[in-house]
A = this chain, B = another copy of it.
Amino acid sequence: MYEGPVQDLIDELGKLPGVGPKSAQRIAFHLLGVEPPDIDRLMSALQKVRDGVQFCVVCGTVSAEKECRICADPRRDRTIVCVVEEPKDVQAVERTREFRGLYHVLGGSLDPLSGIGPDQLRIRELLARIGNQQDGVDVAEVIIATDPNTEGEATATYLYRMLRDFPGLTVTRLASGLPMGGDIEFADELTLGRALSGRRAL
């Protein structure tokens, strides 16, 4: 619709997730009006991500150093490992401020239809971490915090089978149930069913 570079930029922005044609146009015209250094900062951030982001050699989350801040922090409890699908799940658990252990990022969930099997995830690395001591400490608990959907549940089941025979290791799964602030009336059958079967004594 527009001519030349502006349309190219609108087209490229429109390929980003959650950016429709209207937002792409709005962002492009916003960028037409900003100072060049502002665009430079965006371009340099893109360049750095394009040139490769470093992942923590221990847990696999995005990291500025060889080892991420969490893995390098001596105050974290090395006996508990929380297994998540993606780096953003690490941030979600961190935001709760309820967890002081370490993480392990799988890099996704089992999804055979998309060609993602155990070898495409960081499962071998997880087993190695639990098999070896971490800084002289044995891992006592693995919390499986994959998403509560089909792929995440399948991954959790697979991991449980791989981990249950480690001596002295407890394997747990995040509780399923009603979200806080939610409404029983509007809960879906699956969630309400999980909340019932997982009920706890008061």
Is A30 a contact of B16 with CB atoms below 8 Å?
yes
Count A interface residues, CB 8 Å. Answer: 51
* Of A4, A13, A54, most B-chain CB atoms within 10 Å: A4
In the complex, chain B residues whose CB is within 8 Å of the CB of A2: 62, 87, 91
> Chain A at the B interface: mostly helix, strand, loop or mixed?
helix
B29 and A87 within 8 A (CB): yes
CB distance A45 to B4 under 8 Å?
Answer: no
- Are B9's CB and A48's CB within 8 A? yes
- Residues of B within 8 Å of A5, CB to CB, are 45, 48-49, 53, 64
With A2-B62, A5-B49, A19-B19 already in contact, 8 other A-B pairs whose C-beta atoms are closer than 8 Å: A3-B64, A3-B69, A5-B48, A6-B53, A6-B87, A18-B23, A25-B88, A39-B46
